[in-house]
């Protein structure tokens, strides 16, 4: 990650000049909405910018990798509101103190195992992926051993050459879990909550449960992994940031938001305009899809002072990395707890992180592409001797 | 140290003595319904929306530009609206009463 030429904001010129970039995805022309206020307004206006389109909220579409409409994301209010309420309490738990402490311990144990070995660590596969899987077991309230199965799906169950195979694997796994939960007494884990939920006076169908399951496993995966890896990459290049957070822990939540803004792990999400729309001087035809480009909005200099600069104390920071409006990220409390805990444990435990090798993700294509994510990142963690030994947390 | 009263969305008051920090932090620490403070106070999430009671408006002062921007997207916002995370308590605000808007 470099502070000056910002790989995370390739949209600068076209955002200023036109406000819209016409993207091409699988042969479909999709206007990408780039300016901050246009993105926030469209995200709020769900009637004009509809999510009621199975498989077509993600860009590119996902007809070929899953057979279930994802819930609650691929619906509009009022259905959306009622679906979302079923799982909202579970997704809010990460704001409770006991949850935060467990995630901190989880990160501490993982980091300590890498410290003790003292050997190079490939962060994506040996740190971020296991952490994402383990933390998800906590969110969904299932045994930590389930993570062993999830690890096999890699970065994203719907990406890569074997995407169809992995997608089918995930669906078989989820189906088995929901059927088992349905046959057992009600519990408080994700599968059981849905298997025994009541929606408008009836139980959910298996298709509906699968829709929830699908999103929980796909939506929170590469997002979290990219974010964890980028944070560690940044800390490796900026050892002074570790000291700064150690000396001023109040900055941790603020820094976590700045990383979310800069990294914007979900670059864009789709909407369909059933009756057309007008945005940034552009006409969207009825039935056409658009992209809400969160990653561009987060660098709009009409809102953010020096948007290319990573300022760990940026405040206010009205970013939209977790979306906005009715569909604002359900996993955000979990993601925020995870990133804040990561920053806390790094600052308490580590003296510095040595960067050994890194390979950044450089997608090429007909669209404006963002860089900055790591395909691989090899580092060595160096513990802070004085604090590590006296058990002071 | 100042005292503050939150009128919760269901109409019941909750008074907190010796409060310190901003109106979002104090609410989260004391489990006030309707304020979750998701973004930790950087003015990004609007989950700390309160209305200042009329007699306190002048002393609390107006919202900043960023705050007004965010509030402009809230259907329930009006001239008394503030984002709790942007209002820091000080001795002059001892006795402050605010209404929690909730979602
Ligand atoms: C840093 C990590 C993450 C980022 C940046 C992120 C970003 C987003 C964004 C931008 C949206 C809005 C989509 C839309 O408007 O259509 C969203 C929705 C959603 N996210 Fe996340 N997400 C993250 C992590 C997670 C995690 C860990 C989970 C769950 C395990 C999750 C589950 C969801 C769900 C269920 C929705 C749909 C909510 C709805 O439709 O009401 N996300 N996320
Ligand atoms: S806590 Fe997020 S805007 Fe106030």
Which of A111, A167, A100 is closest to A345 using CA atoms? A111
Alpha-carbon distance A264 to A294, whole Å?
7
Residue A380 within a domain? yes
Chain A residues with a Cβ under 8 Å from any Cβ in chain B: 40-41, 44, 92, 95, 253-254, 256-257, 303, 314-320, 322, 324, 328, 332-333, 336, 340
SS3 of A11, please? coil
Pairwise CB contact (< 8 Å): A303 & B69: yes
Residue A236 within a domain? yes
> What element of type H or E holds B70?
helix B65-71
Handedness of CA A367, A273, A74, B45 (dihedral sign): positive
Alpha-carbon distance B9 to B101, whole Å?
6
Which ligand lies nearest the alpha carbon of A211?
1
The total of structural domains in chain A comes to: 1
Residue A307 within a domain? yes
Residue A136 within a domain? no
Residue A160 within a domain? no
Which of A176, A91, A69, A166 is closest to A136 using CA atoms? A91
Query: What does the block give as tokens for A283?
Result: 């006409």
Does the beta carbon of B41 sit less than 6 angstroms from any atom of ligand 2?
A: yes
b/e per residue A189-214 (b: at least 16 CB within 10 A): bbbbbbbebeeeeeebeeebbbbbbb
Residue A170 within a domain? no
Q: Longest Cα pair distance anywhere in chain B, in angstroms?
A: 34
Given 3-state DSSP classes, what are the helix, strand and coil percentages for chain B, each rounded to the nearest 5? 25, 20, 50
Which of A389, A378, A383 is closest to A351 using CA atoms? A383
Could you tell me the distance, in angstroms and rounded to a whole number, from the CA of residue A388 to the centre of ligand 1? 35
Does the beta carbon of A91 sit less than 6 angstroms from any atom of ligand 1?
A: no
Distance of CA B11 to the CA centre of its chain: 15
Given 3-state DSSP classes, what are the helix, strand and coil percentages for chain A, each rounded to the nearest 5? 50, 15, 40
Under-50 pLDDT residues of chain A = 1-5, 387-393
Contact yes or no for B25/B94 (Cβ under 8 A): no
ipTM of the complex: 0.95
Q: What is the pLDDT of residue A393?
A: 40
Query: What does the block give as tokens for A28?
Result: 């479909």
Alpha-carbon distance B92 to A291, whole Å?
47
Residue A61 within a domain? yes
Q: What is the pLDDT of residue A42?
A: 98
For residue A247, CA distances in Å to A20, A234, A253, B15 come to 43, 18, 14, 33
Where do the DSSP E strands lie in chain A?
A: 20-25, 28-33, 121-122, 198-199, 202-203, 269-273, 277-279, 282-284, 288-292, 350-360, 374-383
> By residue range, what is the domain housing residue A19?
12-130+223-390
Q: How many residues does chain A have?
A: 393
Does the beta carbon of A330 sit less than 6 angstroms from any atom of ligand 1?
A: yes
Q: What is the pLDDT of residue A27?
A: 87
Neighbours of B95 (CB within 10 A): 13
Under-70 pLDDT residues of chain B = none
For residue A329, CA distances in Å to A92, A343, B28 come to 11, 21, 20
Angstroms from A89 CA to nearest CA on chain B: 12
Residue A268 within a domain? yes
Alpha-carbon distance A149 to A83, whole Å?
28
| End-to-end C-alpha distance for chain A, whole angstroms | 29
Is some CB atom of chain A closer than 8 A to the CB atom of B73? yes
For residue B6, CA distances in Å to A287, A374, B3, B32 come to 46, 46, 10, 8
Collect all residues of chain A within an 8 Å Cβ-Cβ radius of residue B64. 316
| End-to-end C-alpha distance for chain B, whole angstroms | 30
* pTM of the complete model: 0.95
**Tens digit of pLDDT for each residue in B40-63?**
999 999 999 999 999 999 999 999
For residue A127, CA distances in Å to A34, A227, B86 come to 33, 12, 36
Which ligand lies nearest the alpha carbon of A342?
1
Alpha-carbon distance A383 to A131, whole Å?
19
CATH number, residue A114? 1.10.630.10
Contact yes or no for A329/A220 (Cβ under 8 A): no
Neighbours of A162 (CB within 10 A): 13
Sheet order of strands, B13-16 included: B13-16, B4-7, B96-100, B49-52, B81-83
Angstroms from B43 CA to nearest CA on chain A: 5
Pairwise CB contact (< 8 Å): A318 & B43: yes
């Amino acid at each position: 990650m470099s502070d000056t030429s910002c790989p995370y904001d390739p949209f600068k010129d076209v955002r200023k000049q036109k406000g819209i970039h016409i993207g091409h995805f699988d042969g479909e022309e999709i206007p990408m909405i780039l300016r901050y206020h246009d993105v926030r307004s469209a995200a709020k206006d769900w009637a004009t910018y509809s999510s009621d389109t199975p498989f077509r909220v993600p860009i590119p579409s996902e007809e070929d990798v899953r057979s279930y409409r994802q819930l609650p994301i691929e619906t509009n209010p009022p259905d959306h509101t009622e679906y979302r309420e079923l799982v909202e309490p579970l997704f809010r738990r990460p704001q409770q103190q006991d949850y935060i402490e467990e995630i901190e311990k989880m990160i501490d144990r993982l980091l300590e195992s890498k410290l003790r070995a003292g050997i190079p660590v490939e962060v994506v596969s040996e740190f971020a992926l296991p952490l994402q899987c383990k933390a998800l077991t906590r969110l969904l309230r299932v045994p930590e051993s389930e993570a062993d199965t999830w690890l096999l799906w890699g970065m994203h169950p719907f990406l890569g050459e074997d995407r169809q195979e992995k997608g089918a694997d995930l669906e078989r796994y989820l189906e088995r879990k929901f059927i088992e939960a349905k046959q057992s007494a009600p519990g408080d884990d994700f599968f059981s909550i849905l298997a025994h939920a009541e929606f408008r006076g009836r139980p959910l169908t298996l298709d509906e449960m699968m829709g929830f399951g699908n999103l929980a496993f796909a939506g929170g995966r590469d997002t979290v992994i990219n974010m964890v890896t980028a944070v560690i990459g940044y800390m490796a290049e900026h050892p002074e940031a570790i000291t700064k957070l150690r000396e001023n822990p109040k900055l941790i939540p603020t820094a976590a938001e700045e990383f979310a803004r800069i990294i914007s792990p979900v670059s864009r999400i789709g909407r369909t305009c059933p009756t057309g729309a007008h945005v940034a001087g552009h006409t969207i035809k009825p039935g056409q899809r658009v992209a809400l480009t969160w990653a561009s909005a987060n660098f709009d200099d009409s809102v953010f002072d020096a948007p290319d600069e990573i300022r760990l104390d940026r405040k206010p920071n009205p970013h939209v990395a977790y979306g906005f409006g009715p569909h604002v990220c359900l996993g955000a409390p979990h993601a925020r707890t995870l990133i804040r805990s990561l920053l806390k444990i790094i600052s308490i435990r580590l003296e510095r992180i040595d960067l050994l090798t890194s390979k950044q993700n450089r997608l090429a294509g007909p669209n404006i592409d963002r860089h900055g994510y790591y395909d691989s990142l090899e580092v060595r963690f160096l513990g802070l001797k004085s604090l590590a030994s006296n058990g002071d947390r | 140290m100042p005292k503050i009263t939150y009128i919760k969305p269901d109409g019941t008051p909750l008074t907190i003595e010796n409060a310190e920090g901003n109106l979002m932090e104090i609410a989260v620490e004391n489990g006030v319904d309707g304020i979750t403070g998701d973004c930790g106070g950087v003015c990004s999430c609007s989950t700390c929306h309160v209305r200042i009671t009329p007699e306190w408006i002048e002393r609390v002062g107006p919202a900043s530009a960023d705050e007004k921007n965010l509030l402009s997207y809230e259907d329930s916002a009006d001239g008394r609206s503030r984002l709790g995370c942007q209002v820091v308590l000080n001795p002059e605000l001892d006795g402050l009463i605010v209404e929690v808007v909730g979602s």
